[in-house]
Structure formats: C-alpha cells, structure tokens
Structure 1
C-alpha cells in the first residue's frame, strides 16, 4: 500500500514539477509525503493546516490533473495534517476531487475601514470601494540613511534592504527583528516601510504597534465590526507590527492575528514583526503562531560595539551642527554602552549643559555631565564578562566551557554561566546559547532549571552560586 502510494505520488510530483516554478515546487510540494493508497484514494501528509489551506487555494487544479492522469477520473485525495507539535491529527482533513470541501475566501465588497491614528478621528472610517489610501503611520525620521550599520545589526539591515526591493518576494517573510530596548529595531522597521513606499509607491504599507492593534480589535468587537477589521488588515501589502510580544495572553487577538497572518502570507504580502524577545522566548502564545513567526528570518540586533557607537555619535554631531573633539567622542563611546537611546540621550545632555551654561564642550564638562550615569552603571555586565568570571572561579578555560565535553565540572560551570547570563543581561535565551558554545535556547532553559534545583538541594553548589552572585553584584 505504502509503496504504491509513494510511486503514484512521485508520478504526480513529476507532472506538477513540469508545470510550476522550481521555487514553488520545492516550497509547497517537496515536504509532502504519500502515506496510503486505497481504492483510488490517495492520502498525503502535509506539515500543517496552513499547507492544506494554501494548496487548496492555489494548486488544487494542478493536483487534480495530476491525480486524474495517474489514477483516473475517480481519484480522490485525503490530507493527513500534522499538528503543530508534530503529532498527527486523528481526524484528517479530507477533500474529494474535483470539488473541494474548503470554503473559498472571497473579497467581500463592503466598505473597508481607513486607518487614521493621529488626531481625534475614529481610526475606522469608510473610504468606499476604491484602492486603499491610508496613513502608513511611518515616522519619516527613521530612514536607512540615518540607521548606522555595524556588526550588531548588519544581518537585520541587509535583510530589510532586500525586502524593500521585493516585499513578499524574498525568503525573509516574515522578518522577525528582536532586541533589547533602544537598539534600533523600531527604527529599522520604519526604514523598511519608507523604502518600500519610495521604490513602489503603489504598495499599501502600514505600521501599527501590537498594543494599538489589540485596542482596535477590542473596539471593533464591541461595535460588531470584527469582519471589517479583519478585511482591512488583509488588504495591506506590507504590514509592520511593532512589539508583537504584547500579544502574549490575549487569546482572541491571537486568533484573529493568526488568520490575518495566514491570508497575507498566502497572498505574497510582506509581514515585519519586532519584539524584545526571540519567537521561542515569547510566553503564553499559541504554538501555531510561534511557528509562523519562525517561517522567514528571525534576526537579533545586539548592543553596538565601540566602532558603531562612535559612528552614531558622529552622525548625530553632524545632524545637530556641533563640533566635538576626538577625545570627547572617544570618552562617550567607551563609557555609554547600553543602548543607542542612552547614547544619544547622553549627547543631548552634554549639549544642553554647554548651551545653558554657555560653556565649551570639553572633556571635563563631559565627565561631569555623565558622571552620575556612568557611576550608576559601573561595569557593563556582558555574557563575555560572565564567562570569564565563571572560568576564573572554576579554573577552566573558555574553550573548555564552550566545548561539547560532558565532564561534570565543566558542565556545571557552563550551566552557571548560562544561568547568570539570563539573570544579569537582557540577552535572549537563543543569544545566550549561541555565545556559550553555540547551544540552542532549550539547552539554556534546561541549564537555568538545573541551577535552580541544585541550589535548593546541594550545599556545595549553593556556595558556588552565592560566591559568583556576590562577585557579579559588586560590579553592578
């Protein structure tokens, strides 16, 4: 039975491959497996319900032709759909060819809401049946020109530039940008939207915070405009959702966003999401949504290095029309490391002090102005610093800590490094894992749980935690 199913499906695939693009074939047909053939009924296994829906929307005719060619006009197809957690559904979705049981999505000819966020106007206004003309909500100050590229953001920026040229046409869909606060993810999201509008003015681009999205959904539900709300978002060409992690715990909003996401993705529209957490670190969100967040490219923006911080200061200095000596720039760049907002805020404070007191910006003035800020932050606790501290404490090398060895003393040191990295830095679990021996987020999570358990049950291990904790807190 299985061999017959495989051979028939392979023949169907050959026919399909000859009639669609190579990219479409490898994306939508290569992951499918034939699992059973009985009485001209072929059962194929697809990875998710999304796959089933997409095949039905776009490829049902060619699948029907392939099956008819190889099994005859009475051929039928059954989809066996894998659950999101890799568990097979007990009740497979079944579709009889030639008529599909799946309801077709229709463009509802109703008046769509216009998104107007600024001012006192209601954000849902009826524009009539015409091409949407909406306020994109993009901040024109956030462009690629003033987004300084460095090692910390190069991948995210490069992906954004590619998306701007071909929104929805790259493998970066969705683009999921995550970082700690103040590192430029919102700036980059706006820059992509503005670049799309510059290159393809006809595209409908919309920026919205998840907080605003949730508020609109609640208002639409209360006023019985839920369908209008959904249809409006389904007509966007490039949807940018900032702080997507705020969807956590909101079941109704997750459900409606799931359907909007599916519709946009199926129709080749671009989705850009930002978050302060990686997809796997967002809590209380349905797994099917998390899996979709990971479909395209997830990229982290990290804290800028010295060179990037210096370039940011030089750009702001040029924009503000001021001149600063190299030693002043060097002092600021070396001492303000947390994020870009703090860096720019420090420079604003220096300019304000010099202007109001009619003084020249000297190194002495800068040191005095920033003394409180620098004293409060004292030492920049980084993952690298934590690894060095742990290695020094246990007398092991960095190479050993990051290696694959399972020696008990090395494993414990590694787990403690991961534990303290999670506790004292804003890095995601994924980022911690990558920097400590290229582990995944699950390994880091397991390490943190192990440390918590041993802390409660092992006196010697508890002393390790307490000692390292004292060393780290003395530097904060």
Structure 2
C-alpha cells in the first residue's frame, strides 16, 4: 500500500487521539488538513497563525513522537498557514511556510485608499457641525478584568483578551471574536479589553460601538453623502470593538464598508475585537469574504459557567456591594440559576432588595421565592443536558444510547430531535450542540434540524413527537 500524506496523518491522529483529552483533540487536531508528503516532510494546513503557535507550544512533543513513528528519525513537519504570508522562526523539528494560494486571495481584495487631503474628518460621535477628532472611547469603566471572574467556561476568551490588552495589534488574536449565549459576559469582556488598553496605552484611539449603531451611522453617512468621511474616520482607530456583529446579517452595504475598514485596520497592525451570539460557522447572511476574515484570528466561546464559577461570581458581587450572605443561600442560588450570569446577578440583587425593603431576614425560603419568580419571569433557558434527558425519557432509552453511533432508525430520530430542540431552545452554537450530543459536527446538527422540519410536515406520528416534547420542555 502506497504511503500518502493522508494515510501518514491519519495514523498520527490515531496515536494523538489516544493520548490527549477528547475536547483538545476536537479543538486542535480535527481542523488540520494533510496537504502533501515530500522527502520525509509532511505538510499540514492549519487555520491561522494562532493555531500554529498553539500547536508548537503545547503539542510539539506528541506531534514529533507520532510522526517519527510513521516516517522515522528524519521526519519533518511543515505548517501551511491559511491566509498568512509571513515567515516565522524555524523550529528544529517543524517549520512554517505561507499558504501557496495567498497571493491569489490577496489580489482579490480591494481596499479603500486612506485620503489625507481632508484633514477635517467628520466624527460620527460628535454633534453635527462641530469638527473635532477628540474621540471618546464609549467604554464603560465598570466592566474590568477584575470583576470578570475566570473559570473553565471563559478561560480561553479571558486569556486571549488579556494578551490583546497587553499588545493590541501585536498578537495572532486579530481579530479576536468572542461568541456565546445571552448574559455570559461578551460585552463585559469586550469593554474590559478596551479599558485595559486605554490604561496601558493612553495615546491609542480605542472605540467601542454596537453593530446596530455602526449600521445607523453608515446609513446617515450615505444619506448625507459622507460615506468616504465615515470610512476615513474608522480607519484612524487603533482598537475597534464592535459588539453583536451578527447584527450586520443581511445588510450588504454595511458589510461592504466594514470589509474595507477591517482590511485597512488589519493591514496596518490595528486591533479589531468583535462579539457575536454565534460562531462564524453559524452566522447567516454574512458575506463569505467577511466570515473568512473573522476566522483569521481567534474565535473564543464563552460557555455557561460551572457551579464553582457561579459561586465565585455571586461572592464577588456581594463583596463589591459590601453585603454578607450565608454560604447555603449563595449555593442555593448558584445551583438553581445555571445558564446566565446576568440572571445570576439579577437574582442576588432582587434577594438583597427584598430583604432590605421588607426588612426580612435572608433565608432559604426567601431565596426559593425569589429564584422561582426570577426564573419564571426571565423565561428559563433550557440546557442541552436537560433536552437530552427529556428526549431520552420520552423514547424510553438511556442518554448513552441517544448519543451512540448506532444507525437504528428510532435512535437516529431521537438524536435528531434532541439536536433540533437544542437549536430551538438554547443559544449554543451548532458545533457546541454537536459536540455535546454524541460528538457530532455542526453539519450533522444542521442536517438533523432540516430532517425534523421535513418529517414534521409529512409524518403525522413524528409531528406528535415534536408537539409532546415541546410541551415537556416548555413547562
């Protein structure tokens, strides 16, 4: 049997898979593609410079062992970095080369030239008629890294944020895209990065803006025939933070102008930070050329905080407010509000308010009343674990059976229903849903959702499954 790049890499992956955590394997090795095998050197393509640096720092030993097993002591590994055109320092075992198709990609880019002829740019953030380039950052100083507590659910995003704040525009995390569900701290983290940069580099121009406001400013600029001024204004920003970038969905004019602004900032070593409620792979109606740029840096997900992190968040909130509260009550609130940091803090504020206004002692009973009302009023978010449990019980099977690789029709349908309801009732990305329901990819989840929609409209029995489970999950 002839030895190919793919066969060598597949054997390496088998070895690596047996020696690292499943989540690490999924994150750092599944996206890699084997490209070619020449003179005992295996070339692999990685999505970004950050990927290459992470592999070199954390997995170079296991890569060397696995490749040496396949190709012997003279084995070499070559990284081809997608969308890169810079050479890095060569390693004793590995080397980095630019993607061969980079020049073709680059030639398709069109940038809006920076125009210095008009020294008086119109600033969208000042009163019309007053020409002034003193730019207010629009940052909220109350959002800091100090009160953005670290946990397993946010460690990657927070660490990347700290790295960007220390060296804006000078890391591989450009752009830095922070994504996750409602109330998990995307806006907080984006502000914290900006605030930290302003502290460390007072001379840098930092600007925070929501995608909605950015769009409105662009519409106003077009109406007033100021489009070029709008572009030039944003091109002088050193650190641009755009919140809820998914709002650009379907707005082709705004996407086009943002594309030019992004290119200019990125090419000039300026930092771009984005937040979104979904991963780039799940964004609908965003131009492919923009999505590809979103993937150039790092996409870091904020997940639901675990119990220990929720307790830490509550204690930190109480400490900042100068309030003492019994441990058992803090634990009770943390155990019962699981999906949303904003709700978590809201419940503790309500508890303090009820206690002080009605002069009641803070007890477990009072905590139960507040949490019940709060969760009911905020329309409880259903977790993927709860959905899997509900669907498994409905079809009288174990969760392990639901997640298994079996192709038996009734199990496949149960699994597809779980994926469908996870997309419907949670803010999790398709990739996140797939990984939690039997380690599937986002394409499998998308297919499951389409299948459920089709069967619901053609199969009476299947429609009843959907209606029954919907009722159970809506209680």
TM-score interval (norm. to shorter): 0.7 to 0.9
Distance 1:442 1:329 in 2: 40
Partner of residue 389, structure 2: 388
5+ residue gaps, structure 2: 1-84
Deviation of 1:430 after TM superposition, in Å, equals 2.3
Aligned length: 388
Tell whether 2:213 aligns with 1:212: yes
Distance 1:352 1:299 in 2: 35
Q: RMSD over aligned Cα, in angstroms?
A: 2.8
Deviation of 1:349 after TM superposition, in Å, equals 1.5
Partner of residue 81, structure 1: none
Contact 1:115 1:135 in 2 (8 A): no
Tell whether 2:158 aligns with 1:157: yes
Deviation of 1:389 after TM superposition, in Å, equals 2.7
Partner of residue 233, structure 2: 232
Partner of residue 88, structure 2: 23
Tell whether 2:57 aligns with 1:52: no
Written as runs of structure 1 = structure 2, the 5 A alignment for 1:259-338 is: 259-338=260-339
Q: Which has the larger radius of gyration?
A: 1
Distance 2:222 2:288 in 1: 24
Q: Secondary structure at the match of 2:329?
A: helix
Partner of residue 57, structure 1: none
Tell whether 2:114 aligns with 1:109: no
Contact 2:87 2:96 in 1 (8 A): no
Partner of residue 20, structure 2: none
Distance 1:366 1:104, change over 3 A: closer
Written as runs of structure 1 = structure 2, the 5 A alignment for 1:396-435 is: 396-435=397-436
Deviation of 1:305 after TM superposition, in Å, equals 1.9
Contact 1:174 1:293 in 2 (8 A): yes
Q: Deviations over 1:261-280 (max 9, x none)?
A: 11111122111111122223
Q: Secondary structure at the match of 1:203?
A: coil
Distance 2:128 2:162 in 1: 30
Distance 2:213 2:112 in 1: 30
Partner of residue 100, structure 2: 32
Contact 1:113 1:125 in 2 (8 A): no
Deviation of 1:396 after TM superposition, in Å, equals 4.3
Written as runs of structure 1 = structure 2, the 5 A alignment for 1:361-376 is: 361-375=362-376
Distance 1:164 1:123, change over 3 A: farther
Which segments of structure 1 move beyond 6 Å, counting only runs of 4 or more?
Answer: 24-29
Written as runs of structure 1 = structure 2, the 5 A alignment for 1:97-176 is: 105-113=113-121, 115=123, 117=125, 121-122=126-127, 125-127=130-132, 133-176=134-177
**TM-score of the superposed pair, with normalisation by structure 1:** 0.74
